[in-house]
A and B are shown apart, each in its own frame.
Chain A
Amino acid sequence: MSQIENQEHSSEYAPVPIPHSEVRRSDVSPKQAKYQQRLISLLFGLSMLCAVIFVVAYVQIPIDETVSIPFLGTWSKMNTILGLSFGLGSFFIGAGVIQWAKQLMSHREMVQDRHPLRSPDDAREDAIAQFQQGAQESTFATQPILRRSLIGAMALFPIPLVMLLRDLGPLPGDKLFNTMWRPGMRVVMDVTSAPIRPSDIPIGGIVSAMPDGLPEVQEHDGNLNERAKSVVLLVRLNPDDIVSQQNPEGEASWDYEGVLCFSKICPHVGCPIALYEQRTHHLLCPCHQSTFDLADSGRVVFGPAARDLPQLPITVDKDGYIIARNGFAEPVGPSFWERA
């Protein structure tokens, strides 16, 4: 290789420079070199200035002060100035160092040989011989009883590691099959817990609701698990528009004077469903766009959900408030292996 002739160092590890044709202006013009030097030191200087601005802004700007900029909305003054000063401070260091490397540091490309990654044959043979020697001395091959019992012990050893995970959670049991809905339980307003009369919902109206006593259950459980499955939607349709409902044949229909009650939890992967289109009585899940026709048994009309939205049978109690006639006839929420 002709480049070897250019070799500067005798060290076998030193890369060989190859002649580089590109000549920078800063290589030939002292004026340009001086300019680069000034430019780079200016960048470092700006970085220092940014650090000062950061400290001053941190101490001086009230954290809640905002500025309104037309078209760009409201900005947190502190966040903007801290971010810009910190960010630019870092950027200027990087830009300066890169410019230094590009303009003033030696600009010769170099060549280095690659060495084969594969070990030489004798090294391979030696490694194998060494291994065999070690294996032989270990008596692993000649002690089948020890070997097999060790393998057995090693196989059982991880059992505690798995076992220790057991108490991460309870077994599912029938939890996914049931909600707190019971016959006679009032369907109340979601936030206020106020009981609801059918006349409270205009035709075409929709109301987020929950079982009476849910807050107490939540309080008792210390979590939102029950809420995640028992919340419902009450929707009122013109009774003539209702095509079908989920009541089994022979049973009275599950609405009350056109008021229908459906689970709010999508049977796809469990998002709460909230987008209702009054004209088509379609309910759209905002997560994956499964669409259910509430006038037609909550049937899936579009999207990835495979099952109809579960319906809750309702009626009114003696005070005229909406109550559940029964619990859900099927598990609510996403499908699972044991569901059937």
Chain B
Amino acid sequence: MSNAIGNFASGLDDRLTIASWSRRNIRKVFPEHWSFMFGEMALYAFITVLLSGIYLTLFFKPSMTEVLYDGSYVPLKGVHMSEAYASTLDISFDVRGGLLLRQIHHWAALLFVAAMSVHLVRVFVTGAFRKPREINWMIGLGLLMMGFLAGFSGYSLPDDLLSGTGLRIAEGIMLSIPVIGTYLSFFLFDGEFPGDEFISRLYGIHILLIPGVILALITAHLLIVWYQKHTQYPGKGKTNDNVVGYPVMPIYAAKAGGFFFVVFGVIVAIAGVITINPIWGYGPYMPDQITAGSQPDWYMGWLEGALRIMPNWETVAWGHTISWNVFIPAAVLMGIVFTLLGAYPWLERWATPGDQTKDHNLLDRPRNAPTRTALATGSLTFYFLMLIAGGNDIIASQLDMSINAITWVVRIGIFVIPPFVFWITRRICLSLQRKDRDLLLHGVETGTMMRLPHGEFEEVHAPLSEEAKAVILSKETIEPIPYPEKTDANGVKTPHYHLKKMQAAVSHWLYRDAVPLPSAAELEAAEHHILESAEKGAPVMHQMRQLEAEGGVMHDPSAAEADRAAGVTVPHLDAEFDQKAEDEKGQQAD
């Protein structure tokens, strides 16, 4: 190390003890898998949002003061609009690279939420949320919620017709909150909608409060990942107590660092060629105007869908109105979804025998947790049905369908289709477990048929690779918690009987039907058997490989048929076969 750098590092260490920290961490190992990149992608998208957002603050004017537009976008010249909208037009048409920055900001925000969502699904189906990582799961949920808020508050700022429509809906939703709704709306909007304060208030929330919270949560999220060490997929040499992968320096630093530039680059290139949120086409917001086909950003689509398919229930009682038709889909649903997501790790832990103390560092293969995986696909189906409902007008007009029919299909579908998907996913997972068991017991089918001397056909089986075997054997066979007895042998009532019964019921729901791995003895016998088959087939396989290399075919049934017809025989095989037939005859005679 050159002297200057050495002196600098030494000086830093004198003051901050960096050497002690570095020696533990510079070569810290991180496991590698493509599915680990979604979280990373979310982080890089957020950095991109942050960077482009800083530039936008330099040009954007968060004010609802009415101005006459006098910029270079001709169709809107002389139109009354808010300063917010006018400055957004200026960014788009009069600031060089301004449109690019706006589009980078919007695309990166879309990717941020998308990557977080996929990351959430990945973490869920692989059981990465299990102890000791429940806290990080909760932080992740907080980040996702903040992502929604950041996105919504962001696309509401330009004060164009579409964003104003979104705010009008948000205000309608606020009004539906029982007791405090009207006050909440009046305080936020400084009176009635739309008022003249809201954009500047939202701006502070969008550029300071939400990103501040996101940054804090991301910092905690990453520190915890670093401290607890990343989970890893099962494989050869991978255990619950080790991490197999590449060191931060140089491999992970290079790959992760490089990946930032890739994510950033792809977002910027997309921003250069694909228009997003062309606010100039929507016009300034007027509360009495609307365009057909108004759609929120994609991550709000499911809530929009819920709002669309909800039956029109409203209760008027004791002089008060409760708008179930708005309050349930827009507020209660989100609350339920996030509560269930937040509660799931604790619920699973509660219903898993022996899970109170155990750390889970090895990921589950989704098939090995059938109920959990089925919950994921069922929930995703519910989500996508909602998303479809959110675009029912677009689908109706594009595909020439009846909007009422689509709405009714989704209204009924959300109760019917997710349970069906849940059921079928569970069956698929269990079948895959059975397939894994078969692989262990019978080895890999090579697709090579071998005819034995006595005429029997047999497929040559090859042993599983060490890697594949380790992956399959990583499965934990979990026996569900047994149902409690109401009273013990002495007639003493079991304490907390109903709670324990519920626990056992959840446990059975999670873990029943699992296909057990073969026992050690079975495995050994199977291994022996597979090796035998492989050995028996080895000469054939060898011959076949040789033939294949020469471009020939070892066995062509039609050719054999033709041979027989022509009286051609394969001497040594036929001889063996005849011998065997003789022997059998002799045995029968005895």
Residues of A that sit less than 8 Å from B by CB: 3, 11, 13-15, 18, 58, 63-64, 75-76, 78-84, 86-98, 100-102, 105-106, 109-114, 116-117, 165, 168-172, 175-176, 190, 208, 210, 222-225, 227-229, 231, 264-265, 268-275, 286-290, 300, 302-307, 333-340
**Contact in complex: B291, A111 (CB < 8 Å):** no
Q: Is B557 an interface residue (CB 8 A)?
A: no
Tell which of A190, A210, A286, A335 touches B294, judged by Cβ atoms closer than 8 Å. Answer: A286
Q: Does B243 sit at the interface, judged by CB under 8 A?
A: yes
**Which residues of chain B are within 8 angstroms of A88 by Cβ–Cβ distance?**
265, 269
Question: Which of B93, B103, B165 has the most chain A CB atoms closer than 10 A to its own CB?
Answer: B165
For the complex formed, measure the closest distance between the CB of A94 and the CB atoms of chain B, giving whole angstroms: 3
Residues of chain B contacted by A87 (CB below 8 angstroms): 264-272
What is the CA–CA distance of A303 and B329 in the complex, to the nearest angstrom? 13
Further pairs besides A106-B250, A114-B361, A306-B313: 13, Cβ < 8 Å: A58-B96, A64-B93, A97-B255, A105-B250, A110-B244, A111-B29, A176-B192, A208-B288, A227-B286, A270-B171, A288-B308, A289-B403, A334-B176
Complex interface residues of chain B between 397 and 421 (CB less than 8 A to chain A): 403-404, 407
Q: Residues of B with Cβ closer than 8 Å to A?
A: 23-24, 27-29, 64, 72, 93-94, 96-97, 99-100, 103-104, 132, 165, 168-169, 171-173, 175-183, 185-196, 228-229, 237, 240-247, 250-251, 254-255, 257-273, 286-294, 304, 307-314, 316, 319-323, 325-326, 329, 359, 361, 392-393, 403-404, 407
**B251 CB contacts on chain A under 8 angstroms:** 101, 105-106
In the bound complex, do residue A172 and residue B182 qualify as a contact, i.e. CB atoms below 8 Å apart? yes
A residues less than 8 Å from B310 (CB atoms): 304
Task: For the complex, give the distance between the alpha carbons of A76 and B226 in Å.
Answer: 44
Given known contacts A13-B24, A169-B190, A286 and B293 CB-to-CB distance under 8 angstroms: yes
- CB-nearest residue of chain A to B406: A289
Q: Does A228 lie within 8 Å of B311, measured CB to CB?
A: no
Closest chain A residue to B44, Cβ basis? A94
Chain A proximity of B243: nearest CB distance (Å): 5
Q: Which residue of A lies closest to B311 (CB)?
A: A304
Q: Which of A90, A171, A231, A273 has the most CB of B within 10 A?
A: A90
Given known pairs A175-B191, A176-B192, A336-B182, the reply for A98 and B259 (CB within 8 Å) is yes
Q: How far is the CB of A164 from chain B (nearest CB, A)?
A: 12
Contact A270:B169 (CB < 8 A) given known A80-B273, A224-B286, A337-B179: yes
Q: What CA separation (Å) do A306 and B324 show in the bound complex?
A: 9
Q: How far is the CA of A31 from the CA of B244 in the complex (A)?
A: 31
Chain B residues with CB below 8 A from A303, complex form: 308, 312, 407
Q: How far is B97's CA from A63's CA once the two chains are assembled, in angstroms?
A: 9
State in angstroms the CA–CA spacing of A174 and B157 once bound together.
29
Chain A residues with Cβ below 8 Å from B326 are: 268-269, 304, 334-335
Chain B residues whose C-beta falls within 8 Å of the C-beta of A208 in the assembled complex? 288
Most buried by B among A169, A271, A340: A169
Please list 30 pairs of residues, one from A and one from B, whose beta carbons are closer than 8 Å in the complex, sorted by A's number.
A13-B24, A64-B93, A79-B103, A88-B265, A90-B265, A91-B261, A94-B260, A94-B264, A98-B255, A109-B246, A111-B237, A112-B229, A171-B186, A176-B182, A228-B194, A269-B169, A269-B176, A271-B168, A272-B290, A274-B289, A286-B292, A289-B403, A304-B310, A304-B311, A306-B323, A334-B175, A334-B323, A335-B176, A335-B321, A340-B319
